[in-house]
Amino acid sequence: MTGKFIQRQKVTENIAAAMPLAALNPDDLAGLKVLVAGDFMLDEYVWGRVERISPEAPVMVVNVERENRVLGGAGNVVNNLVGLGAQVEVLGLSGRDTAGAALEAELTRLGVNPAGLFADPQRQTTRKTRVLGGSQQIVRIDRENRQPAAPWFARLAEQHVKTLLPDLDAIILSDYGKGVLTEPLLTDLITRGRESRLPVLVDPKGRDFRRYRGAAVITPNRREAELAVGYSLQNREDMLRAGQELCRLCDAQAVLITQGAAGMTLFQPNEAPADIPAQAREVFDVSGAGDTVVAVMALGLACWGQPLLAARLANLAAGIVVGKVGTAPILRSELAAALAGQPAGQPDKILSLAELRLLAPRLQAQGKRLVFTNGCFDLLHWGHIKFLEESRRQGDLLIVALDTDESVRRVKGPCRPVIHEGQRRRMLAALETVDYVTVFSSEQLPEILAALKPEVLTKGSNYPATEVSGREVVQGYGGEVVLIPVTDPVSISSLIQQICSESR
């Protein structure tokens, strides 16, 4: 039994209640370990061209050009936790099929151990396949199971969780009603969490919330709360009544009812309800916002021990993700910018590799063609600018991977770089033609390309195609290597020598 949650709560209890959000540091959330148990899904996107109608039926014919897959369901909670720098363990079911293998591969790509994703040969992996012609979604094909998990899964789950408990900081139960979170398993997970003094949070499903009795926090949206209490929440009085009923019904430390544009209301036993206004942001897509709320709420509660403080932070995070197109997780850099008061719609271009691993497939799921290039970019000059502009023309978004100072020294010698990596990345990020900048070490390139899978890798034409580092990786998954013409090459070493000689 860890007692970590209680220890943090004793330390921060009095301070956190009155703490302004601007005083929070999202880096404090990094490294916390959270178990996500529930219904894991695979979201598939099939992109193609529509040029004719089928002669067999009055339907469009889609010529497939590319496909990509991302985690959905409980997996989107994982996306949010990873985006905030947390460590994640999982507990769920897949089929013993290619989609199940893809789920495992995607977890592994994000740095999450898939050992808790158990394969059942009698089930098919839950997946949602969206077919798009151009930018228009034509059809969605769902493949799923709803029958309760087999008894053997509960036994394996018990052993798996027992092994993980000593190192956990929180447990999230992400219920999409696909049969994984059976009542016996829910009772076991909630009981073990409480005995270990860990916050257990539930993103609920269905009409009977008694299944979640004893959890620390329940996070229904308005519609889910209405189903649970059996009446419509048409006004504030209905909302207050429902929140209090759910607190009693679930024996919860808190119930957080999310209400879209109306914000959120937090209910706690023996406390006045707390209304949390929605952030004033343009709303593009609310899908996935509930996953963001429960992920941030769990980390905030584990870190600071105060439901209201955690709920206010979750509300801020939800305001960020609904301003994005499509289901998208929150990134730690985005949360830090919002806490610092930066205006909405000004995303940070400088991202960690972990954040890019999350972001890249989401951008591709929106139909974006990603271009990737890498280099030292020491003493930025006009040749660099022309190269970056032409690289950007090869697709929709340009990602620049910048060599670390140590990596530059290994490649260029002990006197390089002239400009520190912190300044180099800020200069690149200031360019309109550059969409994202990350810092890497040269030996990581194959791993990064395999994780991001950009459609295009660019290099200057002064490099022979056969010597372009990462070429085999990109061409191996069907990507393209483009050599950008270099008509007036500039030697940085010669330039440095010229500056030194002229200064004598």
Phi and psi angles of residue 496, each rounded to the nearest 5 degrees, phi first: -65, -45
Neighbours of 460 (CB within 10 A): 18
- The per-residue pLDDT for 346 is 56
Domains and CATH numbers, the chain: 4-262+275-339 (3.40.1190.20), 369-502 (3.40.50.620)
DSSP-derived secondary structure letter, 331: -
Query: How far is 253 from 273, CA to CA, in rounded Å?
Result: 13
341-392 tens-digit pLDDT: 876 555 679 999 889 999 998 888 888 999 999 999 988 888 899 999 999 9
Query: How far is 310 from 9, CA to CA, in rounded Å?
Result: 12
- The per-residue pLDDT for 3 is 42
- The per-residue pLDDT for 5 is 47
The DSSP H or E segment spanning 254 is strand 254-258
Q: Give pTM, 2 decimals.
A: 0.86
Pairing of strands 456-460, 436-440: unpaired
114-165 tens-digit pLDDT: 999 999 999 999 999 999 887 788 999 999 988 999 999 999 999 999 999 9
- The per-residue pLDDT for 107 is 96
What are 71's strand-pairing partners? 42
Cα distances (Å, whole numbers) of residue 118 to 35, 94, 296, 402: 15, 6, 26, 39
Q: Which of 203, 291, 403, 405 is catalytic?
A: 291
Query: How far is 51 from 61, CA to CA, in rounded Å?
Result: 7
The terminus-to-terminus CA distance of the chain in angstroms comes to 69
Residue 186 tokens, joined: 């829910």
Annotated active-site residue 291? The verdict is: yes
- The per-residue pLDDT for 486 is 82
Burial class (CB in 10 A: 0-12, 13-18, 19+), 501: exposed
Give residue 36's identity as a one-letter amino acid code: V
Residue identified by tokens 């601007």 is: 22
The overall longest dimension of the chain from CA atoms, in Å, is: 85
Axis crossing angle, helix 307-321 with helix 332-339, rounded to the nearest 10: 110
Query: How far is 415 from 109, CA to CA, in rounded Å?
Result: 36
| Structure-derived torsion over alpha carbons of residues 96, 100, 102, 105, reported in degrees to the nearest 10 | -90
- The per-residue pLDDT for 487 is 74
Give the residue from 179, 185, 156 showing the smallest Cα distance to 41: 179
What are 401's strand-pairing partners? 374, 438
What are 398's strand-pairing partners? 371
Burial class (CB in 10 A: 0-12, 13-18, 19+), 126: buried
In the three-class reduction of DSSP (H, G, I as helix; E, B as strand; rest coil), residue 444 is classed as: helix
Residue identified by tokens 């036994």 is: 155
Give the residue from 113, 40, 103, 105 showing the smallest Cα distance to 82: 113
Query: How far is 420 from 54, CA to CA, in rounded Å?
Result: 58
Query: How far is 307 from 16, CA to CA, in rounded Å?
Result: 10
- The per-residue pLDDT for 479 is 93
Residue 18 C-alpha from the chain's centroid? 29
Query: How far is 378 from 237, CA to CA, in rounded Å?
Result: 63
For residue 385, what are the contacts with CB-CB under 8 A and spacing of at least 6?
Answer: 431, 433
- The per-residue pLDDT for 8 is 47
Residue 503 tokens, joined: 């200064």
pLDDT in tens, the chain (504 residues): 344 544 444 434 445 456 788 888 889 999 899 999 999 999 998 988 898 999 999 999 999 988 888 899 999 999 999 999 999 999 999 999 999 999 999 999 999 999 999 999 999 999 999 998 877 889 999 999 889 999 999 999 999 999 999 999 999 999 999 999 999 999 999 999 999 999 999 999 999 999 999 999 999 999 999 999 999 999 999 999 999 999 999 999 999 999 988 889 999 998 899 999 987 555 544 567 899 999 999 999 999 999 999 999 999 999 888 876 666 788 888 898 888 887 655 567 999 988 999 999 888 888 899 999 999 998 888 889 999 999 999 999 999 999 999 999 988 888 888 899 999 999 999 999 999 999 999 889 999 999 999 999 999 988 787 888 999 999 999 999 999 998 766 666 666 666 666 655
